[in-house]
Amino acid sequence: MSSLYNVFMKSASFADREFIIMGDMRLTFGQAFQRGNHFARGLRHKYGIKEKARVALVMETGPEWAVVFMAFCFAGATPVVIAADAEERVMVNALESANCELAVADLPSAGKIRSYGVKLPVVIPVMYRSDIISYIGASSGFSVFNLDDDAGPDIS
């Protein structure tokens, strides 16, 4: 039986080929996997996420979304994918009924989660940290995680 993890491992042989292209941003398979591995370690060690834990992914699709989804697979977490433009009742119901331990969201979605009154730790992953994003995250109670802080070669 093949899993998404196995699919990602098979595609690791394309490490030097471009995988994600959006505007000026270009990531090879290797770079994306390194960032996914880094965030998977962060999920386990910094946020206490264990295998099979349900973690919400509430973001517009883009490079960060892809890296976060990979990280969930690498960490053994169960992704609960919620559309960033979901209505309040849909988002709240999904977060609560799935019993998510953590939400990973872009800044607008993180703000929605807070404004809807959901009491859940929220992490905002960024590809390149800027002082403004860090300040916004810290001042609003969100954790900001730089996906590029420690891009090591191993995939665990």
pLDDT in tens, 54-82: 999 999 999 999 999 999 999 999 999 99
The pTM for the full model equals 0.87
CA distance 129 to 11: 28
Which of these, 8, 9, 15, lies nearest to 29 by C-alpha position?
A: 15
pLDDT digits 0-9 by tens, 99-144: 999 999 998 999 999 999 999 999 999 987 665 666 676 677 889 8
Neighbours of 128 (CB within 10 A): 9
Question: Looking at domain 14-146, does it have CATH number 3.40.50.980?
Answer: yes
**pLDDT at residue 154 above 50?**
no
| pLDDT at residue number 141 | 81
How many percent of the chain have pLDDT more than 70?
87
Q: Where are the domains of the chain?
A: 14-146
Q: What was the pLDDT predicted at 121?
A: 94
CA atoms within 13 A on the CB side of 103: 29
